[in-house]
Each structure stands twice: as structure tokens, then as C-alpha cells.
Structure 1
């Protein structure tokens, strides 16, 4: 049974027959990925696409697609302020993170909410392994030698046989584990409910979240892939960093606020850890005066590790599939149902 936005069970069915559904798409109407909406079942009536709709025009809309690239949280709130949407039952976000929809106008409603998790996991897993290899090869040293035309051999590392610890073994974390195992790595992970991953071949040992400091002591690479919820804000703090090996590398593809960035900078400057690969930051864009920019032992990408060719096309394909499921089975057929209050 699918949970509500508030986490309680709910269900609505289509009585075993294919019904019609009215859909509103909250999006920048010029986005190219929206062309895939033509693949929606013929039983779907798209009432409107955009961020501004005449008052009362959405009264019979039961489904909403939020294509949040190019749409601000304020614009989403304005849609709900201008339209009461009394018939709305299901909201789908084309992102995996729930940040843009964690607003009272949505959280206080009796909705089933789905997201696009899984669409971006492989690319983020590849970024993690790239970051790990970046430091194993001592890439900053290679670049310095190239810049000075200096031929100087030195030993480099390999990933096989090393240990990767993953904070948050959800969809992204597991995809990372699968790829790390392909490299011959030992994989550890934390999870709120370790029982969910017992017997999973993508992980060698699973820890409860409270044992994070125990896990990182064993790791050569520590990866943060957890969503941001109150309990994960600054989950990687000075205490956790102090338990890591001095030769360890920290990699973040989750959320910037899951890391105490000041403590991370201190650990990087003091040599408490060897390096960091960061795709997300506490403040984005990363301020120009951030110490991280000038650190040679930090790999920085502008929160784009998942923005591969076709990334948003894939998210719309997932929505189209979900809409077909909705028409045929109601909420019980929906993929990727999330609890917005838990954050995943």
C-alpha cells in the first residue's frame, strides 16, 4: 500500500479498468525533455504546462508532474497559492532529491508522492569510482608534472583490495557498491535498517547508522550518498573525520549539508585525511572565497555528476511508465513512492 506524503498508508484504485486522468505539468515549458510527454497514454489529458495557470483551471487535476529544472521553489509555491487543486492525488518529481517539494503546500496535503530515483544512480556511482581512481593515481601530481614537462616515475595505487565505506545504502549507494565490487573492492555501508541489505551481494558488511565511526576506521574511501533529513545534517562531522585513516579519501555525491564543511576543510588542511572528491556543497554555487577552491587535494565538480547525456529524458520516460501504471492499477502500481517527511 502506498504511503501518503505524511507517511501513512493510503490507496486509491482504478477499479481494474483503464481510466482517464487529468495532468498538470509544472515546468519551464521550453525544456526539451518535455517532448517525451507525447508518449503519454491517450487517456491522459494534459491540462497545462508551465508555472502560471488561471485560477480555478486546475480544480479537476489529479496528477502533477514537477519538472523542477529551471523552476524555483517559490514558483512551485505560487502554483499552489493560485490554485487549491482539490482533486490532486499524486505528485511526481523528476528529481531524486525531494528538496524542491519540501514545502508546506505539499507536505500538509494528502498526496502520494513519487520521484525519479534510479535514473541518476549509475552516473553518480561512476563519479565515485572516478574520484577514487583520481586519488589512487595521484592525479594532481600527474597534472603538475605535465604542466612543467617533467618525466618522473612514481608508484600509484589501485582500487582492487581497498575498502570503500558508503554512508546511506539506498539506490545511489547500492549502485556505487555494485561498481566498487566490479573493481575488486571490499564494500561496507551504513543504513538505518541494516536488515534491508542482509544477504545483498553488493555489500560485504552492513552497519547501523549509529556505528558510522566504527565503519570509517576500516575504509580507504568514504562515500556519502545519504539524503538530507534532520538526522543526516552534518552526519560527517569532525568526530567522524578524525576516525578516518590519514590515507583515506572522502567523496560526497549526496547532499552538501550532510557534511560539516568547516570540519572537512580543517581535516584536509591538516592532513588528517588525504583528499576529497566533492560534487555537492553546503552552499551552492560554492562561494568564490571558499578554501576548497585552492586546495590541491580536492576534486570539485559543480553538482553536475549526474547530468549525463539524456539524464532528464530518462526521468520523463520513467514518469510516462508510472502514468501507465497509475491508469491501470491506481496508486498501488506506482514506482518510487517516497515519504516526504522522512526525505526518501
Structure 2
């Protein structure tokens, strides 16, 4: 009996290196490409995409308004782990399969987070500002050894952060929706449920937010939660910007109710030039690039190419998202 395969007809909404386009074609794929750069307006559809069955895009920003022109889409591969724009009711209630790049960015994000922890502990924001003003002045310093690191959203990224934090002699508490028993080689010292989030916030010298964007996490970190932080503690967000009520965080930072923060994600991106966060002295701002490394696109494409072959063969795809949970 002849094996039946599905021809991948892919609508690509990002800029992809030529070598990977060639590999897609080698797998028998047909391609239509309309590059859409992050921060730019959505580009118009340049060709007929009515026969496309796959979309390669950025789920963080793409709401799939193209579905009316592409009724045969079966699978969407997001090049972001976050699916903030993508997971609206039409998509959630459809039969479209969503996959993301979970696991591809865990190590770079963990390395970025450790850099932020060390930078805040050694007073790097103050040093940089003093340097820019030719000012020789002492800076506040905090020890990492013996301090407590709380990770709210203890998934794959959280585990990679914990692994590195333990090498710095930090005590690590993981906080997750579905806590599990520690295995012998688990990097965290303690794993608790989200019902104990207040206790984790109270104990943490460094509080890491690594949460996805869901209705349950929207503005979870509000004034009530922030007020539970120690005055000498630091907040680092590498999850989603809408997890925090920004104006309430700004108030605490201005009033020195917490020692500082490092933010990679924001409610509005790019962060507007007039935003008050830019003016704060006890903060590190990065432009939503904690995930990035020189090997990022290679990791993404390895997953996508494997999934194309699986799609052709009718096999289960890698990194399928639970559309109702949002991750």
C-alpha cells in the first residue's frame, strides 16, 4: 500500500535565512513569504494563500487575521513561546494546531536572568549612571551567596535559572501551578504551588517572574503582591509584561520600597520613549531580547523542520500548545 503524505504549503510571516528555506523546499514544501519584522505594521498578503495549510509566524504579535484568506490552515508554528496575540477565541475554538518554540530559549533566558541578578546585586545600574556623569561614588552591593531566589512560573526556563543559581550558593524556591515532588537531581531546593505565592514573594531576595500570558496571570503582580517584597529585594521579569501592574511597580521603585528591578518585557512594546520607567535609577531595561542568542534561529528551525516532516507523515507534532491553558 502506498504511503500517503501531506504536501506542506507554508505561509511564512518572518525573515528566515535562505539555507532554511532551501531545507523546507527539500522536504517538499511550497513557500509563500511575506516578511513581518517585529514592531512593524502587519504586511499585506502578496499572493493567494487559500491553499496554504501551515503558517510560520510570531504568535506574540500575529492575531492570524489572514485566516479569512487561508481557510485550509491546519497548523501554526509560532517562533515565540508566548502566544499573546494568537490565542483569541476564534483560534482557540478552531481545529488549528498551535506549536511554539518551548525549550529553544530556556538557556539564553536563564543566562540573561543570571546576568541581571548579578548586575543588580553589584549595583551595575548605579555604576553605569555614575560613569555617564563622570561621578566617582560608592554603589549598593548585595551578596548572592546565602540569598533566596524565588521563581514564579517554575517551568523549563525556571529550572535552567535554578540550576545556575545553585552554583552561586543561592537558596531556590520554585513556584508553579502544578507543584511536583522534587527528584534527586531537581535544581530547586523547594517547589510549591501558586497558592503559596505570597509566602515566596515575602521570602525572596530576588524574585523572578517567568509566567506565560494567561487570564490567570494578567496583572497578577499588583500593589498587594509588590508590598510583600522586602525593601532590599529585587524583581526580575522575563515572562510577560502584562503580569505586572506597571504603574504600581514604578511607584514602589520611586519610593525605594524595593531595591530595584530588571525588566525585559513590558505591557507596551517597544517601550515608549516617554515612559517613566526610563527615568528610574534602580532599574535595568532590556528590549525583550532575553531569549536571544546567536543560535536562536538554528534552534527554532530545528524544531520547525522536524515538525514539517511529522506533518507530512501524519505524526504528532513537537511542542503542541494547549490552547485553553495558553501554553
Check if 1:341 corresponds to 2:327.
Answer: no
Give the structure 2 partner of residue 207 of structure 1.
Answer: 192
Hey, what's the Cα distance between the residues in 1 that align with 2:254 and 2:139? 23
RCO comparison, higher one (Cα < 8 Å, 6+): 1
Check if 1:80 corresponds to 2:63.
Answer: no
Q: Work out whether residues 104 and 299 of structure 2, in 8 Å CA contact, stay in contact via their aligned partners in 1.
A: yes
Check if 1:97 corresponds to 2:86.
Answer: no
- TM-score under structure 2 length normalisation: 0.87
Hey, what's the Cα distance between the residues in 1 that align with 2:312 and 2:181? 30
Q: Work out whether residues 238 and 263 of structure 1, in 8 Å CA contact, stay in contact via their aligned partners in 2.
A: yes
Cα distance, 1:53 vs structure 2 = 6.1
Among 146, 154, 159, the residue aligned to 1:174:
159
Q: What SS class does the counterpart of residue 180 from structure 1 fall into?
A: helix
Number of matched pairs? 318
- TM-score under structure 1 length normalisation: 0.83
Unmatched 5+ stretches in structure 1: 1-14
Check if 1:52 corresponds to 2:36.
Answer: no
- RMSD over aligned Cα, in angstroms? 2.8
- 1:251/1:154 Cα in 2 relative to 1: closer, same or farther (>3 Å)? closer
Q: Work out whether residues 33 and 316 of structure 1, in 8 Å CA contact, stay in contact via their aligned partners in 2.
A: no
Write the deviation string for residues 42-72 of structure 1: whole angstroms up to 9, x where unpaired: 45332533362655741xx44x132339x96
Q: Work out whether residues 12 and 31 of structure 2, in 8 Å CA contact, stay in contact via their aligned partners in 1.
A: no
Give the structure 2 partner of residue 126 of structure 1.
Answer: 111
Write the deviation string for residues 82-135 of structure 1: whole angstroms up to 9, x where unpaired: 2321xx433221111112322344222113221111111211111111111112
Write the deviation string for residues 145-199 of structure 1: whole angstroms up to 9, x where unpaired: 5456566667843322221101101222222112212222211111110027665
Q: What SS class does the counterpart of residue 338 from structure 1 fall into?
A: coil
Among 36, 39, 43, the residue aligned to 2:20:
36
Q: Work out whether residues 107 and 157 of structure 2, in 8 Å CA contact, stay in contact via their aligned partners in 1.
A: yes
Write the deviation string for residues 311-341 of structure 1: whole angstroms up to 9, x where unpaired: 233212221122233444612xx22111122
Unmatched 5+ stretches in structure 2: 35-43
Structure showing the higher helix proportion among its residues: 1
Query: Which shifted more, 144-153 or 39-48?
Result: 144-153
Cα distance, 1:139 vs structure 2 = 1.6
Hey, what's the Cα distance between the residues in 2 that align with 1:339 and 1:273? 36
Write the deviation string for residues 221-244 of structure 1: whole angstroms up to 9, x where unpaired: 001010010000111111111111
- 1:24/1:40 Cα in 2 relative to 1: closer, same or farther (>3 Å)? closer
Hey, what's the Cα distance between the residues in 2 that align with 1:56 and 1:270? 54
Give the structure 2 partner of residue 142 of structure 1.
Answer: 127
Hey, what's the Cα distance between the residues in 1 that align with 2:132 and 2:27? 60
Give the structure 2 partner of residue 21 of structure 1.
Answer: 7
- 1:197/1:113 Cα in 2 relative to 1: closer, same or farther (>3 Å)? farther
Write the deviation string for residues 15-46 of structure 1: whole angstroms up to 9, x where unpaired: 99573432212314xx2435313223845332
Hey, what's the Cα distance between the residues in 2 that align with 1:141 and 1:120? 29
